[in-house]
A and B are shown apart, each in its own frame.
Chain A
């Protein structure tokens, strides 16, 4: 199925560092969602974005809905060991006429204490 381009694919960072990842699409989206998935579990919703230009925070996490509606960014500040996991973006295509979401390829984050 169709997937979004998510980068970077993986990151190894030191505890306390900030992290940034993004997703880009060739299509316009009307909703962007960011999830974190721990091994062997289902993804957990972190942040939902519904308007172009929207900037939303959830604790140390901040995400933005790109003004072109074709990209989104997720930043994690002052990373801690429990931030380890796979982060996925998901976008709802505005022209698809359905509620179907397309998922990014994922960013694997490892935090070194």
Chain B
């Protein structure tokens, strides 16, 4: 149980375009999901907390107009990287909260060319 799935696992997009990443909790409902960014050989950096039915809470330094988060249902949160630039290339990971424990998706590699 407690499976979280991300899609796509890898995406390449052109600079200036937008790309959407989905995070789904497959076998449980999650009122809270989290989005992270991870650079090579570094830890996970929390970008935002996604709350079902309300606005996401962004961490300091994260542009909310660039990283749009929508949590429209108890099993789905989406992260849209708008007007992507090469510096947005990274590994993006989501997690979903079940009780006091969080479970991670497989991660999504974004490459902006």
Residues of A near any B CB (own CB < 8 A): 1, 3, 30-31, 33, 35, 40-45, 48, 50, 88, 90, 92, 98-106, 108
Contact present for A100 and B49 (CB under 8 Å): yes
Given A1-B59, A88-B43, A101-B34, does the pair A48, B106 have CB atoms closer than 8 Å?
no
The one of B49, B59, B60, B106 in contact with A42, judged by C-beta atoms closer than 8 angstroms, is B106
Min CB distance, A62 to chain B, in Å?
Answer: 18
Inter-chain contacts of A45 with B (CB < 8 A)? 2, 101-104
Contact present for B104 and A48 (CB under 8 Å): no
Taken together as a complex, chains A and B put the C-alpha atoms of A50 and B91 apart, in Å, by 29
Nearest-neighbor residue (CB-CB) of A4 within chain B:
B43
The one of A3, A35, A98 in contact with B49, judged by C-beta atoms closer than 8 angstroms, is A98
Nearest-neighbor residue (CB-CB) of A108 within chain B:
B41
Min CB distance, B44 to chain A, in Å?
Answer: 5
Inter-chain contacts of B43 with A (CB < 8 A)? 3, 88, 103-106
